[in-house]
Amino acid sequence: MEESTLTFIYDGECPFCNHFAELLELKSKIKNISILDGRKNPELIGDLLKKGYDLDKGAILFKNKEIFHGANAINVVCKLINNPSSKLLEILSKTFKSNKRTKFIFPFLITARRLALISKGIPTSLQ
């Protein structure tokens, strides 16, 4: 069985996104995952935006040739987490392994991200 190649793209200025990405990279035990800060990759973000994937509306996950966005990206990546070495990541992965729960909670996460960025004086949009 061939292992998946994964790229998780997040907003590096968002404190919640940043912490989740850090946990994914350091504590998730997911193999073959690259973590990219969208703000440090404006050309890639511009290309994705042209294809309809707006980082302002949620993280983006490349899994092999598939692209997942927003709630779907979080749901898919959380389903790949097994036995994380962080209690917080364990709670997050259990919460967001449910597609229904993820879709319900996700709009609140987007609002929290926007409020955090506004409070820091950082533009919410990456374009």
DSSP states along the chain: -PPPPEEEEE-TT-HHHHHHHHHHHHHS--TTEEEEEGGG-HHHHHHHHHTT--GGG--EEEETTEEEETHHHHHHHHHT--S-S-HHHHHHHHHHTSHHHHHHHHHHHHHHHHHHHHHTT--S---
The answer, as to whether pTM is greater than 0.85, is yes
What are the sequence ranges of the domains in the chain? 6-119
Per-10-residue mean pLDDT for the chain, 127 residues long?
A: 82 94 93 94 95 95 96 96 92 96 96 95 83
The reported pLDDT for the residue numbered 127 is: 66
